[in-house]
Amino acid sequence: MLSHVTVGTNDFVRALGFYNPIMQALGRPVRREDASVPWKIWTSDDGQRPFFSLMGPFNGQPHEKGNGQMVALLAKSRDQVDDIHAIALANGGVCEGPPGLRTQYHENYYGAYFRDLDGNKLCVVYHGAN
């Protein structure tokens, strides 16, 4: 269904310090990186789509966070959800909901929520049974 998701930033170098450890912990390979644009793209397991990109706005205007928008990253285990949430907070992220079951979505939904350094809301989630 998705081709790619892009998250904006006003400080690309600072944002890389936030996203690089998260994507490394998720095992996401880099597809492309160019600090002159600036942008960095991480791929899915097969190296194709969907992919996740971080970049400054192309129109040269400041990035503005949205309200009601969120990107959910797929984890491979509940432990990985816990780890990614801790990595996000250790790198300046703000907790929007600690790791835990959210059975209002489905019985195995295990997620954690946080905001990045630009205020973008993210979730990391695992859908499997423990």
Report, in angstroms and rounded to the nearest whole number, the Rg of the chain calculated over CA atoms.
14
Q: What is the mean pLDDT of the chain?
A: 94
Grade residue 53 by pLDDT with cuts at 50, 70 and 90.
very high
All structural domains of the chain, each given as residue ranges with its CATH number in brackets, are 4-57+69-126 (3.10.180.10)
> Is the pLDDT confidence value at 57 over 80?
yes
Higher local confidence (pLDDT), 127 or 47: 127
